[in-house]
A = this chain, B = another copy of it.
Amino acid sequence: MPLYAGVELGGTKCVCTLARGHQEILEQITVPTTAPDETLAAIERVLLEWQDNEPVDALGIGSFGPIDLDRDSSTYGRITTTPKPGWAGTDVAMRLRRALSVPIGFDTDVNGAALAEAKWGAGQGLRDLAYVTVGTGVGVGLVGDGKPVHGLGHPEAGHIRIARMPGDNWPGSCPFHGDCVEGLASGPAIKARLGVEHLHDFSSDHPVLETVAWALAQLCHALVCTAAPSTILIGGGVVTGQPHLIDRTGQLLVESLASYISLPAGRPYVQAPGLGVQAGPLGSIALAMEAAA
């Protein structure tokens, strides 16, 4: 049985996973995300200790983005325009590959999670799906024809600009686009709109949640009409705290599509991820498996 190492590089923490597959996670170690060099050195120590113990066959890295995925680019493997202090331009993939000298899979955390959900989670058996995480930002991973979707770069669907909810003209919080989906539905957006410090400061029937569900439904509408995923999974801190947001998003999506496009009958089209908090870590293992194949 091949041995895989995975790194889910997140904005606040990095989860290193050693596994033989999704059902055999051998070890999981979390490293806080601080300055780039400190963080990557800590990850390297974890990986090299595993490697010393038993040779790893491949490494998968699912990173926060945006990242450079163009193998012909001189900046392949780096984080690009992130507003996260100190991280813009940081080399992640080549550095970790040099450390381990094994094949690596490198993609966004959300593309990795989408792949894991298609292999083992709520999208098992589907060739295409979208994985949306609503937390500090709004990230979207896409699997198409069984593989993570790439092109010009990777999906960044949290940054599409949408039709606004009638009567709502709050300008949004995205420093790039104002009222894009992330600027309306992310945790920081909700906090900025309400002027609160914590999201548990408001109840599940607070009217702000309707604006969040609206923005997510418009995101889903755009996904249905472009990548046409067979299902859309929505997770992340904002949704986990307010689970009815998923149902409401699904309702508003059906209203918005206005019978022009029919969603599959007999199962919810917009649903929670099947792998829960392991979607991201198992995403890095799925990327390692692809690299080894």
Binding site for B on A (CB under 8 A): 66, 81, 127-128, 140, 142, 144-145, 147, 149-164, 176-177, 179, 218, 221-230, 256, 258-264
A175 to chain B, nearest CB (A): 9
How many protomers of this protein does the assembly include? Answer: 2
On chain B, the residues within 8 Å of A145 by CB distance are: 144-145, 147, 150
On chain B, the residues within 8 Å of A153 by CB distance are: 228, 261
Tell me whether B222 and A160 are in contact (CB under 8 A). Answer: yes
Bound CA span A177–B255, Å: 10
Residue of A152, A156, A157, A259 ringed by the most chain B CB atoms within 10 A: A152
For the complex of A and B, the 9 pairs showing the least CB-CB separation, nearest first, are A151-B228, A161-B163, A128-B151, A226-B226, A176-B260, A176-B258, A156-B225, A152-B228, A160-B222
Tell me whether A142 and B230 are in contact (CB under 8 A). Answer: no
Bound CA span A157–B160, Å: 13
A170 to chain B, nearest CB (A): 14
On chain B, the residues within 8 Å of A259 by CB distance are: 81, 176
Known A81-B259, A128-B152, A164-B164; further 10 A-B contacts with Cβ < 8 A:
A144-B144, A151-B229, A152-B230, A156-B261, A157-B226, A160-B226, A161-B162, A161-B256, A163-B179, A176-B260
The contact of A163 among B163, B176, B230, by CB within 8 Å, is B163
- Can you give 30 A-B contacts (C-beta < 8 A)? A66-B260, A66-B261, A128-B150, A128-B151, A142-B226, A142-B227, A144-B144, A145-B150, A149-B227, A150-B228, A151-B227, A152-B224, A152-B228, A152-B229, A152-B263, A155-B228, A156-B224, A156-B228, A157-B225, A158-B225, A159-B260, A160-B225, A160-B226, A161-B163, A162-B163, A163-B163, A177-B260, A222-B226, A226-B226, A227-B227
On chain B, the residues within 8 Å of A155 by CB distance are: 225-228
On chain B, the residues within 8 Å of A262 by CB distance are: 81
On chain B, the residues within 8 Å of A162 by CB distance are: 161-163
On chain B, the residues within 8 Å of A228 by CB distance are: 149-156
Bound CA span A149–B154, Å: 16
A6 to chain B, nearest CB (A): 23
